[in-house]
């Protein structure tokens, strides 16, 4: 880089593509799920939001399907 460039005089600006990269939403998660990702965040150095995003992104890219099975409660009659 040339010495005559003075980057301190440059005006900063927001990334014009930022809105296309990610979308802010509200999601409700169980406390134990959040704590799991926060613990993982402490171990890895990534934010827990980033880890959740990476996990969900992997699920979407690999077309993972959640298998849900409802179990009927068994009531004992006396």
pLDDT tens digits, 8-51:
777 888 878 877 888 889 999 999 999 999 999 999 999 999 99
Q: Taken in order 54, 55, 56, 57, is the CA torsion positive or negative?
A: positive
Rounded to whole angstroms, the Cα distance separating 51 from 10 reads 33
Q: Is the pTM of this model over 0.85?
A: no
Domain boundaries, the chain: 28-63
């Amino acid at each position: 880089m040339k010495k005559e460039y003075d980057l301190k005089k440059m005006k900063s600006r927001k990334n014009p593509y930022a809105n296309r990269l990610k979308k802010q939403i509200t999601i409700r998660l169980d406390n134990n799920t959040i704590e799991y990702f926060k613990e993982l965040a402490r171990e890895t150095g990534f934010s827990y939001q980033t880890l959740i995003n990476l996990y969900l992104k992997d699920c979407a890219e690999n077309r993972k399907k959640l298998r849900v099975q409802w179990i009927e409660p068994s009531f004992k009659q006396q």
